Amino acid sequence: MAPTRKYPSGYLKRQRKRRHIDNEKLVDDLGHDEINDILEENDNYEDALNAFIGQSSESIPSNIYDPQIWDSLDPKWIDLLAEKGPIRDLSIEKGAKDQFNRRFNAAFYTRYLSNGEKHDRDWLVYSKYIDKVFCFCCKLFKKGPLKGQLANEGYKDWTHLSVRLKEHEISSDHISNITTWIDLRLRLEKNETINKAVQDQIKKEKEHWRELLRRLISIVKYLAKYTLAFRGTNDTLYEESNGNFMGLVQMMAESDPLIKKHLQ
């Protein structure tokens, strides 16, 4: 049986030193802007750390402007759509022909009033993927089942579309939903949504984690610079032999109100 070493070999020491230098460089390369970006995209410290070590944060769905997915959208993406409005592909003037040789035409976007005025139907959305039209506001803001294909699976009876659009835009459900959309869009632009208090709280929470993460990264950089061990024989605060990292956190808490409050 080979004898066990009381002290690490020179090779092991060199490997540890190289690993510490690499860690220091990694942390040093992460500036304040990167930290801010990480915390802007993550609501808590755990998510921020996940992003810090390379896990991808949640991003906007690539097909968010496709009406087919709007029934299952998260509320935050609904708010984004309400603020930005539907995206209209102006390059599509006509759709594919159906069995009756009829097809979607960009002229449907315009409403002609009896006095000759023209109004844009900014709520009308055409999906080129399934060759159907939808009502943007009714699809997003309907409460429970709503009659009509424009608010559900989409409409593609191009022969009767003009009549159907005129009926839809004067219906009580459509007027209610378009009012909801306009009201929400205005409140989002002014940052006066119903859950503004919640958003303010989230903002404060992010700022707390941002400042805490900066302090912890400073500790990590210090330990990496001097090739000091992070952990001790236990990982509990205010106990003996809990390591350099915990010890430095405890020391900073004596003069740093933010860390002190966090530890409490």
Q: List pLDDT tens digits, range 185-203.
A: 888 777 665 556 666 677 7
DSSP line for 230-247: ---S---TTSTT-HHHHH
**175 dihedral zone (left: phi>0; alpha: psi -120 to 50; beta):** alpha
Where are the domains positioned within the chain?
10-59+195-263, 67-189
> pTM for this one?
0.49
- Rounded distance between C-alpha atoms, residue 220 and residue 24, angstroms: 8
pLDDT-based confidence at residue 217 (cuts at 50, 70, 90): very high
Least confident of 8-12, 45-49, 76-80, 193-197: 45-49
Cβ-based burial of 60 (10 A; exposed 0-12, middle 13-18, buried ≥19): exposed
Nearest to 246 by CA among 258, 263, 261: 263
- Tokens standing for 76? 């935050």
CB under 8 Å to 126, separation ≥6 — which residues?
88, 89, 92, 95, 104, 108, 132, 133, 134
- Rounded distance between C-alpha atoms, residue 28 and residue 85, angstroms: 41
Q: What are phi and psi of 3, to 5 degrees?
A: -65, 145
Q: List pLDDT tens digits, range 40-72.
A: 555 544 454 444 444 334 567 677 788 877 877
Kindly report the CA angle at 182 between 180 and 183, in degrees rounded to 5?
A: 65
| Strand blocks (E) in the chain | 110-112, 118-120, 124-127, 132-135
